[in-house]
Structure 1
Amino acid sequence: MSAHLYLLRHGETEWSLSGQHTGRTDIPLTPNGEKRAAEAGRMLAGLRGDNPLALVMSSPRSRAVRTAELAGLTVTEVSEDLAEWDYGDYEGLTTPQIRETVPGWTVWTHPCPNGETVDQVGARAQRVLAHVREKLRDGDVVLVGHGHFGRVLVATWLQLPPTEGVRFALDAAGVSELGDERGVPQIRRLNVPPLPERGFPHA
């Protein structure tokens, strides 16, 4: 296929800065997060060029919807399937705080009490990508969402278990591009940083 799937992680929030797990909590972007979201839009536009755009889907969380707006995107669909991992009782806690009671805890290897299991998150990723593949027949797709769920999406695109998302980094306002080569899914670009207004520095 000639069309590509782009992932845009939302811009910086106070909790992404502090490392607090942010699932259902609706927390706004910081001023720097808003600036970087706009810069991410310039990077995304440069990567996409003039290809037709078939779908812009966003998580319902305001940090994602606002990132899409600042990036110059018109959201055509909002889906709870694209929301961040539900961390349950660990919402708002950092990994070091969780490890005070659960040594060695990671979201990839341990449960989130009263939250989602990795398999439940993986099932959401499968649903999102099934929808995306239909839309890719008509043009590029942009998904505006979150860090952990975005990493599960990358793993799922590559036909790997959702736990393999641990291997992919997605920073705030980072852009990734997924595609395929003769039917084999691939990562074309991963975690590309936003493009400042001044552009790339000269050597």
Structure 2
Amino acid sequence: MPHVFLLRHGETEWSLSGQHTGRTDIPLTERGRKLAVDAGNLWRTLHHDASPVRVLSSPRARARDTAELAGLKVDSYDERLVEWDYGDYEGLTTPQIRESVPDWTVWTHPCPGGETAEQVGARADDVIAEVRSADGDVVLVGHGHFSRVLMARWIGLPAAEGVRVTMDPASWSVLGDERGVPSLKRVNLGVPR
């Protein structure tokens, strides 16, 4: 069974501040650019300099730039890989949202004007169906919350169970199978910071 390698984009000003960043196209910080280069070096170690059969990226600049800086040749930009649409909560932090909606989390509460966990999960399911039929390893370059949903769906859990997985900026996760059962091979791999 081929593997699916997930790469989260590098650090941005909003990932540093904790602001929900879905549709807004925030550039990488200088540190984020360095982390993307480091992620590429880690990729070559993980994958022994072999090329994946396909590299898909979110069309957001932060993902595109991360892929380029990591030395990956993107085959196509895929709207299904964009980050969760936070709707009215775009640009807000969780503490700011909780001022009006106590105990709010993206995993358990709606995002007015945005997506639900189930809608993000449906996008992830579409991607999974496609990459499972690949004849070799695939790389997906995207975003934190979406990648966490994809991991949950990969192992058959509801989308909201992505809350149980961490994915730092410019980190890798590896999906595969263990004797025919979908598994998370490695999660949140990054160069020590």
State the TM-score, normalized to the length of structure 2: 0.97
Shift of 1:100: 0.2
- The amino acid across from 2:140 in the alignment is L
What is the aligned partner in structure 2 of residue 194 from structure 1? 191
CA distance in 1, matches of 2:36, 2:90: 24
CA distance in 2, matches of 1:81, 1:45: 26
What is the aligned partner in structure 2 of residue 174 from structure 1? 171
What is the aligned partner in structure 2 of residue 48 from structure 1? 47
Task: Indicate the RMSD between aligned Cα atoms, in angstroms.
Answer: 1.1
The answer to whether residue 157 in structure 2 is matched with residue 157 in structure 1 is: no
What is the aligned partner in structure 1 of residue 59 from structure 2? 60
Q: Secondary structure at the match of 2:53?
A: strand
Q: Secondary structure at the match of 2:141?
A: strand
- The amino acid across from 1:102 in the alignment is V
- The amino acid across from 2:189 in the alignment is V
Shift of 1:194: 2.7
Conserved? CA contact 1:23–1:85, under 8 Å: yes
Shift of 1:182: 1.6
- The amino acid across from 2:44 in the alignment is A
What is the aligned partner in structure 2 of residue 17 from structure 1? 16
- 5+ residue gaps, structure 2, are none
Residues matched between the structures, number: 193
State the TM-score, normalized to the length of structure 1: 0.93
**After the TM superposition, which segments of 4 or more aligned residues of structure 1 sit over 3 Å from their partners?**
none
Task: Please list the CA deviations of residues 14-44 of structure 1 after superposition, one character each: whole Å capped at 9, or x if unmatched.
Answer: 0000000000000100000000000001111
CA distance in 2, matches of 1:134, 1:52: 17
Task: Please list the CA deviations of residues 75-126 of structure 1 after superposition, one character each: whole Å capped at 9, or x if unmatched.
Answer: 0011110000000000000000000000000000000000001111000000
- The amino acid across from 1:78 in the alignment is Y
